[in-house]
Amino acid sequence: MRVLFLGDVSGRPGRKAVQLWLDEHKGEYDICIVNGENAAAGFGITEKIVKNFVAHGVDAITMGNHTWDRREIFDFIDAYPILRPANYPRGTPGRGFIRIAVKGVSITVVNLMGRIYMECLDNPFVTFDSIYSRFPEDLFIVDFHGEATSEKQAFGYFVDGRACAVLGTHTHVQTADLRLLPGGTLYITDAGMCGALDSVIGMDVKESVERFTKQLPVRFKVPDKPLKIQVCGVSFAVDVEKREVVSFERIRKIYIRGEDGNYY
């Protein structure tokens, strides 16, 4: 079984990069997961974008601290395979995990959010345990949306041998530590961002630098038709009989805008 996971999709450039990758690799993956919390101009997601992801074969859309940036999400979050972090308090709209049947195997995709330099949600470690205890036979794929490397690494070891994969998101920079942990869990601290390459974590450079030099509030925007866009993520194969990850690779591809406006 082949799995594709793409990191934070940042605005239109990110959506374009994802679309290019999915078109190029049509039919190669049995399950496709993307983090879409920055897909709408960097903040949240719209129903139109969700529909487009689904039409391109995306099976689950994970979110994070930007889940609620577009208030209309409350109207459609239950109608699509969208996951908001599972460790939001009880009663929060939406769901934190989804079970998907692929090739006779039940896969549970879980979205969790870290608590270091982030909102103070419920304990993600405890939340994972409570979900895992309900479906211990499932293959678990976790998007751990967090800022602190230490928290993500600790979580990786905490679920090592129980989760199939722990794929970090949120920092928008792909880390070079994709590996199998001793118990067999595939782990990466951050899968990286899909979006404008020449940007500050997906946002326009000018405004971002201004924010740091002037210390005044600045409205961030996603670069308009950037020269270079990138797709970042992880793909891996699972031997479903043995329940083992048998191969894996980091994905990072850069597309350059041609004179005709298309990316190559």
Q: Which stretch binds Fe ion (CB under 5 A): 15-23, 47-55, 134-142, 168-176?
A: 168-176
Least distance to Fe ion from the beta carbon of 190, Å? 11
Q: Which is nearer to Fe ion, 102 or 148 (CB)?
A: 148
Nearest partner of 191 among 97, 86, 62, 67, judged by Cα: 62
Q: Which is nearer to Fe ion, 85 or 100 (CB)?
A: 85
CA distance 224 to 203: 10
Least distance to Fe ion from the beta carbon of 247, Å? 29
User: Helix H segments across 86-148?
Assistant: 124-132
CA distance 110 to 259: 41
Q: Which is nearer to Fe ion, 12 or 172 (CB)?
A: 172
Instruction: Report helix, strand or coil for 74.
Output: helix
Q: Which residues pair with 144 in a beta bridge?
A: 112, 168
Q: Which is nearer to Fe ion, 12 or 170 (CB)?
A: 170
Q: Which is nearer to Fe ion, 67 or 235 (CB)?
A: 67
Q: Fill in the amino acid letter for 145.
A: H
Residue 160, token pair as written in the block: 């090592």
195 contacts Fe ion (rule: CB under 5 A): no
CA distance 112 to 86: 5
199 contacts Fe ion (rule: CB under 5 A): no
Residue 79, token pair as written in the block: 């109608």
Cβ partners under 8 Å of residue 164, min gap 6: 107, 139, 140, 141, 185, 186, 238, 243, 245
Q: Which stretch binds Fe ion (CB under 5 A): 60-68, 98-106, 202-210, 217-225?
A: 60-68
Identified binder of Fe ion from the candidate list 14, 64, 96, 168, rule CB under 5 A: 64
Q: Which residues pair with 34 in a beta bridge?
A: 6, 61
- Tell me whether residue 25 is one of the annotated catalytic residues: no
111 contacts Fe ion (rule: CB under 5 A): no
CA distance 199 to 225: 12
171 contacts Fe ion (rule: CB under 5 A): no
Q: Which stretch binds Fe ion (CB under 5 A): 47-55, 62-70, 148-156, 246-254?
A: 62-70
Least distance to Fe ion from the beta carbon of 146, Å? 9
Please check whether residue 100 is in contact with residue 132, taking contact to mean a CB–CB distance below 8 angstroms. no
Q: Which is nearer to Fe ion, 44 or 64 (CB)?
A: 64
CA distance 245 to 58: 21
174 contacts Fe ion (rule: CB under 5 A): no
From the list 25, 66, 170, 172, the catalytic residue is 66
Identified binder of Fe ion from the candidate list 35, 62, 65, 108, rule CB under 5 A: 65
Identified binder of Fe ion from the candidate list 166, 170, 185, 263, rule CB under 5 A: 170
Q: Which residues are catalytic?
A: 66
Binding site for Fe ion (CB under 5 A): 64-65, 170
